[in-house]
């Protein structure tokens, strides 16, 4: 019975910690952060990422880390991302260009 409650508690903790959702924003760079959340920042984001900055997802005034290299074709573009938020990192299941 103890094992059952331990597993149940762990499952609940994981469910609370990880949130599945959809976010729409821009793929920017970690150096510029929120400033990178707009279309006219695309060339700067590409340059910063090539220079070593990490790609990030900028949604409004919030910057999320991303766990996937599949964002690279979308740097500087507005995207819609489906995935799981774990802390400050979005684990991407699907990404597509937003309109």
Cα distances (Å, whole numbers) of residue 60 to 4, 21, 54, 64:
41, 16, 18, 11
Residue 69's pLDDT is what?
79
Instruction: Kindly report which listed range (51-60, 63-72, 87-96) carries the lowest average pLDDT score.
Output: 63-72
pLDDT tier at 71, thresholds 50, 70, 90: very high
Q: DSSP letters along 60-85, please?
A: TTEEEEE--GGGGGGBTSEEEEEEEE
Whether 57 has a pLDDT exceeding 70, the answer reads: yes
Domain ranges across the chain: 2-97
Alpha carbon distance 84, 57 (integer Å): 13
């Amino acid at each position: 019975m103890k094992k059952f409650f331990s597993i149940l508690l762990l499952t609940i903790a994981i469910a609370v910690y990880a949130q599945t959702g959809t976010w729409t924003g821009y793929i920017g760079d970690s150096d510029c952060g929120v400033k990178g959340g707009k279309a006219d920042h695309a060339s700067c984001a590409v340059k910063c990422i090539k220079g070593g900055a990490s790609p990030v997802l900028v949604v409004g005034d919030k910057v999320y880390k991303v766990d996937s290299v599949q964002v690279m074709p979308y740097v500087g573009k507005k995207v819609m991302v489906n995935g799981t938020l774990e802390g400050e990192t979005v684990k991407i299941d699907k990404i597509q260009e937003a309109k």
